Chain A
Amino acid sequence: GAVVSQHPSRVICKSGTSVKIECRSLDFQATTMFWYRQFPKQSLMLMATSNEGSKATYEQGVEKDKFLINHASLTLSTLTVTSAHPEDSSFYICSARDPKPINEKLFFGSGTQLSVL
């Protein structure tokens, strides 16, 4: 089945630093990837939709300058948390849509636990 790889799985950083999270679709080309944020015991909150070759579409309330998304190729999207602060600590998950029309499945990365000290 389709595989989405997310890296790193865990990162601890100091306040004020930037952190980059990578999301790769390993065996299919994903024109669309999604970035979510998840707080403990809560569901996924969509942050932005990443489209290959164009600007990401951000959900209301998500700071574009804070959470930079780049989707430069059909297999890679990156999320950069700029000038991270403790309130940015969370679990971040990416997903990619299988483009085959018969499936239209979502496949998820394993997530990144970000802790900002």
Chain B
Amino acid sequence: KQEVTQIPAALSVPEGENLVLNCSFTDSAIYNLQWFRQDPGKGLTSLLLIQSSQREQTSGRLNASLDKSSGRSTLYIAASQPGDSATYLCAVNTGNQFYFGTGTSLTVIP
């Protein structure tokens, strides 16, 4: 069974810093991997999706990478802002099911 882990569980950084969130998965047979953002008491907002054949995807200040063979993905956030404060979740799509990580709670201090 696929297991998805996110490290760190919580992260606090000053505004303006670049940061990296990590996601690891145990089975490399994936269809794609998706990064989400969740604000307190809200649903999930899709940030980036990387297909299994891709190495990275970029959207604005966000860059997600995928190394399928090693079972790892990273989400890079450049020039962090207080509005980036939220919980970030990665989800692995095996084709039949989506497996979610435990999330990283990010706080950007003004």
Interface residues of A (CB under 8 A from B): 1, 4, 6, 34, 41-44, 46, 49, 91, 93, 95, 103-111, 113
Chain B nearest Cβ from A92, distance in angstroms: 10
**Shortest Cβ distance from B101 into A: residue:** A43
B43–A43 CB distance below 8 A: no
Chain B nearest Cβ from A32, distance in angstroms: 10
Contact of A113 among B41, B89, B97 (CB under 8 A): B41
A106: chain B residues within 8 A (beta carbon): 34, 44, 46, 91, 93, 98
B32–A109 CB distance below 8 A: no
B41: chain A residues within 8 A (beta carbon): 91, 111, 113
Chain B nearest Cβ from A11, distance in angstroms: 13
B103: chain A residues within 8 A (beta carbon): 43
Interface residues of B (CB under 8 A from A): 31-32, 34, 36, 41-46, 49, 89, 91, 93, 97-98, 100-103, 105
B98: chain A residues within 8 A (beta carbon): 34, 46, 95, 106
A108–B36 CB distance below 8 A: yes
Contact of B44 among A49, A104, A108 (CB under 8 A): A108
Chain A nearest Cβ from B38, distance in angstroms: 9
Chain B nearest Cβ from A76, distance in angstroms: 17
A105–B49 CB distance below 8 A: yes
